[in-house]
Amino acid sequence: MKRKALILVTVAALLAAPAAFAADETRWVNVHVTENSSNTKVEVHLPLNLVLTVLRNVDVENFHGGHVDLELDDDMDINFPEIMAAVKDAPDGKFVTVTSDEADVNVHKQAGTLFITVDQKEDEMAKVEVTMPMELMDAFTFGDENTLDIAALLQSFDKLPDGELVKVTSTEANVRVWIE
Amino acid sequence: MKYQRGMSTFGAVLLAGTAGLLTATLMMDWMVVDVHVVDVSESDDIHADVPLHIKVPFPLLIADIATGFIPDEAFEDAKIPPEARVHKELVLETIRALLDTPDAELVKVRTEDANVDIFKDGDTLRIAVDADDAVVRCNVPIDGILEALEDWDWETVDPQMAFDILRAAENGDLVTVATEDGVRVSIKMW
């Protein structure tokens, strides 16, 4: 009898599990900022939809309806979609390595994710780590007049697995941005 | 004809009138402004029961009607700047999105002087500020604000908006402020 009840409970739990996961499909954007000098901590936890709604409705200089003006000179002819496609199709490996007295910069691709790290050696001694899954590459949408669709980029966060996107540590402040 | 004892017409009308007035009074939204001045050395708990306080209850309907008597000229100079008006859609869409947001703590700030927490709880945005010199609790009815802003012309100051928002507020504390010098003010909906 006990065994029968246990089986029933297990089956019920298994049946309920997908429903429980499906119930909360909200993706959350998290931003944590810690300022070292004042010991101030700010934690923002906002649903992606709310952030997108705000971005799509902001209409200020250089930012209209989710599109940011990259303010590039007219004589600069950069084919951003081609660059993004090239990065996406590139095999894993080290792309950029810069070593200087001011900072070290590394760009490498590993297991379908682009990692950008900057190690500052002076001033704020900032250490920046940007993690860019390849799914994001397709979301970079550029307009005819050198604009980038930030809203479309953020919309693609919806398809990303949970994880950290940006991490900055420095003597002044630490910043962490992640999606869950 | 035999005289029958019973309730007089006047009594019946008075009773019905009293019952109607009582029902209407109970069904009305009331706002209570509660001011406490306490000896801070005795209690720093904003919810502590302090016997000495001023309580001013008034029905929203009366306040609502009273605003109707304010002459329009009083608000002629109180025009909303056009820069604010262009953000109307941004504000409305943000509030609509906030209403659809699942309940959660949205913002948490910790500093040496103050702590700020903003929670979404159903149709209410709960704001808590714990500073060195004051403690503030505020429960903002998101749906009431949306409704008021949707109805507003976004051109002139409209006191009616305040009552639209208050009417949507849940019963209980709307705003509570307790300062370090012992003044405690709370506005409750009832």
Question: Tens digits of per-residue pLDDT, A121-176?
Answer: 988 899 999 998 888 888 888 887 788 999 998 898 888 889 999 999 999 999 99
Is the Cβ pair A41, B110 closer than 8 Å? yes
What share of chain B in percent tops pLDDT 70? 85
The predicted-structure confidence for B20-48, as pLDDT tens digits, reads as follows 777 766 666 777 777 777 665 555 555 55
At B137 the pLDDT is 94
At B32 the pLDDT is 76
pLDDT at B19 over 90: no
- Averaged pLDDT, A56-69: 88
At A10 the pLDDT is 47
Distance, in Å, from the CA atom of A37 to the CA atom of A171, rounded to the nearest integer, reads 9
| CB pairs A-B closer than 8 Å | 60
Query: From A31, which residue of chain B is nearest by alpha-carbon distance?
Result: B107
Summary mean pLDDT of chain B: 81
Which chain B residues are Cβ-neighbours of A151 within 8 angstroms? none
Whether the pTM exceeds 0.90: the reply is: no
The Cα of B181 is separated from the nearest Cα of chain A by a number of Å equal to 26
At A15 the pLDDT is 41
At B65 the pLDDT is 77
Is the Cβ pair A50, B105 closer than 8 Å? no
The predicted-structure confidence for B132-178, as pLDDT tens digits, reads as follows 989 999 999 999 899 888 888 888 877 777 777 877 787 888 888 98
pLDDT at A66 over 60: yes
